[in-house]
Amino acid sequence: MHCIRPTTHTWIDRVTVLWMRRTVVVSFFALMLPAPSQGAAQALQSFKDLALRVNLDDQLWVEDQSGVRTTGRLTRLTADEITLHTDAGEKHFTRETLRRVAVRHQPLRRAVLIGAGAGAATGAAVACTGPRREECADAPILAGAFGEGLGLAAGALMHRTTIVYPEAERRTLVSPVIARADAGVLVGLHW
């Protein structure tokens, strides 16, 4: 029985693969860190503080005192008035006529980063662990670019609407949870 000793070449391959895997894992977790939301630290006290939560050209929906909702892009914001560009033209709202304002965010940047990280990790795992390792350097780049495109498409389909004026009220949700072997209570706090 012959025992084959590992050569220097195989050790270099193993070290390179381990280094690449570690780099991919660290990069993936670094990209997964949540980005801070805009204006999350400031408490909205009045209509004048609305500029802390919205930017020009943001997609907003506005509800007036009669309950009519209007959706459009923010074109002008002053201390007394908000102006939206809608399909029907420009709409002006004063602070006395407003009941609620909500902003719609699309997580494009975060979705692209997650897609790139997942694509690069998948490409590295598939190409660098197979028998043909000469594609090990190119596969994470190509798969990362493909993942970016998928992330951009997914981010364009998702959105989150947040009420920014008046500030959303805090509430507590309590609901029973019943399973075959267990029973319990689910408590949720929203603020």
The domain over range 47-106+160-190 is classified in CATH as 3.30.70.260: no
Span 163-184, pLDDT tens digits: 888 755 667 878 888 888 788 8
| Sign (positive or negative) of CA dihedral 63, 67, 72, 76 | negative
Sequence ranges of the domains in the chain: 8-33+108-157, 47-106+160-190
The number of residues making up the chain comes to 191
Mean pLDDT, to the nearest integer, of 157-168? 79
- Evaluate if residue 120 carries a pLDDT over 50: yes
pLDDT band at 30 (very low <50, low <70, confident <90, very high): low
- Evaluate if residue 146 carries a pLDDT over 60: yes
54 torsion bin: left (phi>0), alpha (psi -120 to 50), beta (else):
beta
